[in-house]
Amino acid sequence: MLLYVDAQFASPYVMPVYVSLLEKGVTFDMQTLDLFTRANQQPEFASTSITRRVPTLVHDDFSLSESSAICEYIDETFPGICLYPTDPRNRARARQVQAWIRSDLMPIRDERPSIVVFYGVNRAALSAAGQEAAAKLYSAALAFLPEQSANLFGEWSIADVDLAMMLNRLIMHGDAVPERLVAYATHQWQRPSVQRWVKLPRPGHGRV
C-alpha cells in the first residue's frame, strides 16, 4: 500500500485519506511529491495517477485518486471501524458534507489556505466574499451538527475530519467562529489519528 502525499503535509485532501488508513489499521508507505515543482505532472507519476492528483493511493495493481473516493474505497475494502455511517441517509449526508466542502466555499480556501492550520501563517482580514462564505459555512455546519453531539452522526465519521478542517482554517487564524463549532472542531482535532497527521514533521515556511 502506497500513498502519494504533498511534500508539505498540508493538503486538506490528503489528511482524511491518511486518517482513514490509520483508523482501519492498514500498513502503508508514503511517497511525497513537491507540488511547487509540479512533481505530480511528471511522466512517472502520471503513469500511476491518471488524473495526476494528490492524494493517490496504490493498492497492489490498483491506483485511485480523489480523496473522498479513496476514503470510500478504504472503508469498503478493509475491515474494522466504519468510516461512514451505516444508516443510508446518514451515509449520504456524510458524502454530501465531503462533496460540498470540496466544491464550495472557495473564498475561505483562497483566503484561509491550509497553511494557516499547519504552518500558522497569517492572512489579511476576510473579504466581503470571505465573510459571506464563512457565514454560509457556520449556518450549514450548525444545521448538520446535532445539539449536544460531538460528531455529525452520533458515531465519528471521516466527514467529521473534513468539516473540522474547514472550520479550523478560520478558528486557527483567529476569526470569529460560533462557540459550538469551535468546541466541535477542537474535539475532532484531538482524535489520535488526526493528531498523527498534525504532528508530522514539515519543511520550513519558505516553501509554502
High-pLDDT (> 90) share of the chain, %? 87
What per-residue confidence (pLDDT) applies to 29?
Answer: 98
CA 197 to chain centre: 10
**Counting every residue, how long is the chain?**
208
Domain match, 179 and 148 both: yes
Q: pLDDT band at residue 205, thresholds of 50, 70 and 90?
A: low
Domain match, 17 and 34 both: yes
Side chain identity, residue 180? R
d(C-alpha 94, C-alpha 38), whole Å: 32
d(C-alpha 154, C-alpha 145), whole Å: 9
The pair phi, psi for residue 101, each rounded to 5°, is -65, -35
What per-residue confidence (pLDDT) applies to 5?
Answer: 96
Domain match, 111 and 180 both: yes
Domain that holds residue 141: 88-191
Entry pTM: 0.94
Burial of 63 (0-12, 13-18, 19+ CB in 10 A): middle
Domain match, 156 and 185 both: yes
Domain match, 44 and 92 both: no
Question: Among residues 92, 76, 107, which one has the least CA distance to residue 159?
Answer: 92
Mean pLDDT across the chain, nearest whole number? 95
3-state secondary structure of 32: strand
Q: pLDDT band at residue 204, thresholds of 50, 70 and 90?
A: confident
Farthest-apart Cα atoms in the chain, separation: 50
What per-residue confidence (pLDDT) applies to 41?
Answer: 83
- pLDDT tens profile 142-179: 999 999 999 999 999 999 999 999 999 999 999 999 99
Q: What's the CATH number where 63 sits?
A: 3.40.30.10
